[in-house]
């Protein structure tokens, strides 16, 4: 599904700041991979470079989605190709209704893929059903995108977008940050409901606790722009117990 | 710096030169009196110059310069005009001249409508106490000679007296068919106590225009005013809206301005009675050789009134936007609630926004706030939309409309707001 080979990236404005330094990983269809790592290891940069945010220069390596080069595409083309990034900090857009936003996004992607656009009625039916599962009420759908939403509401709104857009490859960037236990469970349930053989996930997190709810197939440890260790779910527990220091020392040895 | 006296002499001289070969239009006693007084005001004040405080950001010369006025007509490519889908009574002006053939009969329950040219021939008319009176009142503390010039020389316009609650909006449609027309329009609207009406204006008016609308809203009356100023690029003009509000009276005025080489909109409003409210809003989109100036002066002259000024401008390609907004709160106007916001979205580095917000408050128990900002499209918002698959151009249009939304939200009836929103969307889509 997603294959990243020897990815190197630096800040566009300051080529001295090299963030990804040879990152490689491969996510197969239907798999859930977790990436853990200390602050500054390059977790969020990875999500931005994959989703096409300006401000980074890829100096080496490749990233492909189902064999198609992601790095050559515009952000919106990557989305239409099936890539989805659940933002760590979902952006507030005053003046744009949540519903308008969702419908514009869904129809833009359908159009890009040569599918018929959804009519207002069809769209409404689908969005209402999916919103209900995530306990998103009508009021939240009417309000401007993320404006005045609590931390939990913003993250639920991300998952609603994911559910509506039905991507193949979902990247969750610290989706657990700012969530209490109940909100995390709700978000995790939303994600788990979307797990299927044709859809893969890359879950970026600081902490193991999210992985209790979204159980990964593979766990990677990211440090200084490289994957330093890969293992099963037990690797996340190890980090939880001992922190990253031992793993980093081990990698340097 | 030129001495004040010399500057004044030059202004007066310019007025003399402009008026030298003009004679006041013929008319009945009431209007002749008003025209004479207005002409005297112009002679006394002289013409505006860029050295005047309220013309600092906009050069008024093109609005009064002698010589041929010329500007290419804009091809609307057969697109329907704004408000076309709305059931209304239509009053059509072509290059500033009333077109009876193209207009609906001036008959509507709850309203009396009369052409200025006809009323001017009579010796007695209900508009006699109003025509030119708000223009005269508005000459202090800021001189507004263009309005007096209009009062003196305008022969076209309509006089609207709202006595009830007409079912349909009164729609003034300004078509432009000549490349050289220099037009003056003077409208008078009187909303009687407890009456309510909607007045729509749309179209480019003329290659050069000078428009005045004097509005008097009696106690408990309401006027909705929605104006779309047309898309013709090569056009210069000035429009004054004067409004006086009685006790518990309400005014909502919204203006959409797209294009125009130089468009100046002055709104001068007096809240004379307790508990009145005045909302003035504008959405502006300008591209290229575009200069647009919104100047607002709201006087709170009675307690417990509310006023809002909401102006949003989207500018690109060298377009210039100006906002000068003032809230004046008299000593008697306790419990005033005044709000003013002016914001610009600059789509490239060549666009320019100039803002001068002013508060002058003499009462001690008031709530007044004002703010002015200038910014670009937010990169985070743009990326968020693109990351969801929305193409860059569509995303930008969405964000620009979102920026303008606060101004459009000032329109009470969503049918009008939606119509204008659709026009704005098309304006951006044409530009990509």
> Does the pLDDT value for residue B303 go beyond 70?
yes
> Does the pLDDT value for residue B244 go beyond 90?
yes
| CATH (domain of A72) | 3.40.50.300
Interface of chain A toward chain B, CB-CB under 8 angstroms: 51-54, 74-76, 78-80, 85, 87, 90-91, 93-96, 100-101, 104-105, 108-109, 112, 144, 161, 165
pLDDT attached to residue A151: 86
| B198-229 per-position pLDDT tens digit | 999 999 999 999 999 999 999 999 999 999 99
pLDDT attached to residue B69: 84
Q: How far, in Å, CA of A174 to CA of A177, rounded?
A: 6
| A214-228 per-position pLDDT tens digit | 899 999 999 889 998
* Helix, strand or coil, per DSSP, at residue B118: helix
- In a domain, residue A80? The reply is yes
- In a domain, residue A212? The reply is yes
> Does the pLDDT value for residue A253 go beyond 80?
no
Q: How far, in Å, CA of A14 to CA of B411, rounded?
A: 47
A75 CB neighbours in chain B (<8 A) are 383, 386-387
Beta strands in B347-396 (DSSP E): 352-361, 367-375
Domain that residue A25 falls in: 2-92+167-252
pLDDT band at B297 (very low <50, low <70, confident <90, very high): very high
- In a domain, residue A183? The reply is yes
B391 CB neighbours in chain A (<8 A) are 76, 108, 112
- In a domain, residue A151? The reply is no
pLDDT attached to residue B432: 66
Q: Which of A76-90, A174-188, B182-196 has the lowest mean pLDDT?
A: A174-188
> Does the pLDDT value for residue B39 go beyond 80?
yes
The percentage of chain A sitting over the pLDDT mark of 90, rounded to a whole number, equals 47
> Does the pLDDT value for residue B76 go beyond 80?
no
Q: Yes or no: say if B93 and B113 are a contact pair by the CB < 8 Å rule.
A: no
Mean pLDDT of chain B: 94
Cβ distance B389 to A80 less than 8 Å, yes or no, reads yes
Mean pLDDT of chain A: 89
Give the one of A90, A91, A108 whose C-beta lies nearest to B390's C-beta: A108
pLDDT attached to residue B124: 80
B399 touches chain A (CB under 8 A): yes
Q: Which of A181-185, A194-198, B325-329 has the lowest mean pLDDT?
A: A181-185
pLDDT band at A207 (very low <50, low <70, confident <90, very high): confident
**Whose CA is closest to B402, among A147, A148, A93, A102?**
A93
Strand B222-228 versus strand B250-258 pairing type: parallel
* Helix, strand or coil, per DSSP, at residue A198: coil
- In a domain, residue A106? The reply is no
| B85-128 per-position pLDDT tens digit | 899 999 999 999 999 999 999 999 999 999 999 999 988 889 99
Mean pLDDT (whole number) for B150-157: 97
| A3-45 per-position pLDDT tens digit | 999 999 988 888 888 888 999 999 999 999 999 988 888 888 9
The percentage of chain B sitting over the pLDDT mark of 70, rounded to a whole number, equals 100
Other Cβ atoms less than 10 A from the Cβ of B264: the count is 25
Cβ distance A109 to B389 less than 8 Å, yes or no, reads yes
pLDDT band at B191 (very low <50, low <70, confident <90, very high): very high
Give me B53's structure tokens. 């405080």
Residue of A82, A102, A104 to mutate, interface with B, max B Cβ within 10 Å: A104
ipTM of the prediction greater than 0.90, yes or no = yes
Strand B222-228 versus strand B196-202 pairing type: parallel
pLDDT band at B331 (very low <50, low <70, confident <90, very high): very high
Distance of residue B384 Cα from the nearest chain A Cα, in angstroms? 7
Mean pLDDT (whole number) for A51-78: 93
Q: Which residue has the higher pLDDT, B21 or B298?
A: B298
> Does the pLDDT value for residue B319 go beyond 70?
yes
B405 CB neighbours in chain A (<8 A) are 94-95
Mean pLDDT (whole number) for A163-176: 91
CA gyration radius for chain A?
18
pLDDT attached to residue B1: 60
């Amino acid at each position: 599904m997603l294959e990243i080979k020897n990815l190197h990236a630096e800040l566009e404005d300051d080529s001295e700041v090299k963030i990804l330094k040879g990152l490689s990983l491969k996510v197969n269809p239907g798999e859930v991979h977790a990436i853990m790592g200390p602050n500054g290891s390059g977790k969020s940069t990875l999500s931005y470079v994959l989703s096409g945010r300006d401000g980074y220069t890829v100096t080496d390596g490749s990233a492909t989605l189902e064999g198609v080069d992601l790095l050559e595409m515009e952000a919106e083309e990557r989305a239409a190709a099936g890539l989805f990034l659940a933002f760590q900090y979902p952006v507030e857009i005053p003046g744009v209704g949540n519903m308008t936003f969702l419908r514009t996004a869904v129809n833009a992607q359908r159009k890009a893929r040569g599918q018929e656009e959804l009519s207002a009625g069809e769209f409404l039916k689908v969005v209402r059903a999916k919103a209900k599962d995530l306990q998103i009420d009508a009021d939240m759908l009417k309000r401007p995108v993320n404006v005045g939403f609590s931390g939990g509401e913003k993250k639920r709104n991300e998952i609603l977008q994911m559910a509506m857009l039905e991507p193949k490859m979902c990247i969750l960037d610290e989706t657990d940050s700012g969530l209490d236990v109940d909100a995390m469970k709700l978000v995790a349930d939303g994600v788990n409901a979307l797990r299927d053989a044709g859809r893969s996930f890359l879950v970026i997190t600081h902490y193991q606790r999210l992985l209790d709810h979204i159980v990964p197939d593979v766990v990677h440890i990211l440090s200084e722009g490289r994957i330093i260790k890969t293992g099963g779910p037990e690797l996340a527990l190890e980090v939880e117990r001992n922190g990253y220091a031992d793993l980093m020392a081990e990698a340097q040895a | 710096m030129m001495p004040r006296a010399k500057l004044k002499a030059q202004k007066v001289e310019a007025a003399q030169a402009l008026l030298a070969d003009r004679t006041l239009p013929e008319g009945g006693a009431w209007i002749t009196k008003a025209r004479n007084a207005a002409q005297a005001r112009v002679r006394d004040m002289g013409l505006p110059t860029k050295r005047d405080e309220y013309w600092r950001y906009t050069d008024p010369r093109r609005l009064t310069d002698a010589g041929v006025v010329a500007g290419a007509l804009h091809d609307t490519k057969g697109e329907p005009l704004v408000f076309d889908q709305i059931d209304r009574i239509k009053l059509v002006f072509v290059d500033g001249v009333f077109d009876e053939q193209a207009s609906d009969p001036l008959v509507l329950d709850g309203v009396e409508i009369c052409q200025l040219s006809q009323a001017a021939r009579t010796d007695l008319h209900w508009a006699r106490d109003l025509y030119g009176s708000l223009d005269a009142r508005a000459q202090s503390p800021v001189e507004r000679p263009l309005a007096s010039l209009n009062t003196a020389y305008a022969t076209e316009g309509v006089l609207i007296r709202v006595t009830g609650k007409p079912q349909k909006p009164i729609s003034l449609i300004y078509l432009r068919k000549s490349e050289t027309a220099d037009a003056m329009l003077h409208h008078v609207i009187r909303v009687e106590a407890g009456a309510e009406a909607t007045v729509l204006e749309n179209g480019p008016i003329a290659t050069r225009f000078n428009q005045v609308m004097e509005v008097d809203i009696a106690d408990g009356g309401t006027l909705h005013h929605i104006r779309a100023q047309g898309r013709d690029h090569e056009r210069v003009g000035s429009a004054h809206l004067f409004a006086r509000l009685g006790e518990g009276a309400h005014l909502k005025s919204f203006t959409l301005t797209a294009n125009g080489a130089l468009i100046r909109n002055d709104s001068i409003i007096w809240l004379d009675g307790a508990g009145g409210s005045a909302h003035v809003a504008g959405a502006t989109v300008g591209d290229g050789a575009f200069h647009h100036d919104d100047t607002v002066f709201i006087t709170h002259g009675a307690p417990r009134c509310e006023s809002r000024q909401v102006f949003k401008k989207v500018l690109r390609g060298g377009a210039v936007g100006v906002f000068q907004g003032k809230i004046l709160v008299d000593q008697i106007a306790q419990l005033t609630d005044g709000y003013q916001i002016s914001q610009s979205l600059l789509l490239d580095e060549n666009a320019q926004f100039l803002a001068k917000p002013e508060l002058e408050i003499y009462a001690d128990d008031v709530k007044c706030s004002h703010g002015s900002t200038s910014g670009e499209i937010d990169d985070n918002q743009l990326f968020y939309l693109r990351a969801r698959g929305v193409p860059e151009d569509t995303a930008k249009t969405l964000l620009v409309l979102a920026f303008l939304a606060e101004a459009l939200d000032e329109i009470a009836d969503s049918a009008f707001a939606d119509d204008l929103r659709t026009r704005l969307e098309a304006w951006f889509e044409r530009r990509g």
